[in-house]
Amino acid sequence: MRHSLRFAGVLVAALLFLTPAVWADSITLTLLPSPFISGTAGSTIGWGYQLSAPATNTNTFAFIGISSDPFLFATPDTSIFNFPTVAPGMTVTVPYIPGTQGLFELTWDPNAPVGFTNVGLVFLDFELCADPFDPSSCSSSGTIAHNYSATVVPIPEPSTLLLLATGLTALRLRRRSS
């Protein structure tokens, strides 16, 4: 028992001292427009992102990998992520454009049940590099994560669309008469 406690103490101390300094000045990830998105069964939805590196960090964050928790009733696609490099004090903002750019997107199965929600984490792997174009200058690596939520919503009823169209027409007529 005593030997196990000593080993655990040494292990914790080693992890604390060997952990890269990146955690003190970590980059922040924000999902755009928010971590909570929704779409109808069969639709494709996704997230943009914002990455902000602290000015106090001396290295550039070079992103090298992306993954997420598994999805049910949906197929994720990470091919739209462009693996940016983020220098100290820099913020990179990329909105979601379906099939073109963003963090990642998912396509709901046509039979996904209304009200179903996928909840999980998206993970971005990075290296800290003095020169992002010189792989030998990379000193450490890490992963940042952010939570997400994607919900299947019902297809709008035709009466809802008719009400919306009527409201927009009324606004347009009012604007013309002014």
What's the total number of domains in the chain? 1
Calculate mean pLDDT across residues 153-177. Answer: 74
Domain containing 135 equals: 24-155
Note the pLDDT of residue 7: 38
* Average pLDDT for 31-49: 97
> What's the CATH code of the domain at 71?
2.60.40.10
Q: Which residue has the higher pLDDT, 103 or 173?
A: 103
Report if residue 97 sits inside a domain.
yes
| Residues 62, 128: Cα–Cα separation, whole Å | 6
Q: How confident is the model at residue 173 (pLDDT cuts 50, 70, 90)?
A: confident
E-state strands within the chain: 28-32, 36-40, 44-52, 60-68, 74-77, 85-86, 91-94, 104-108, 117-129, 138-153
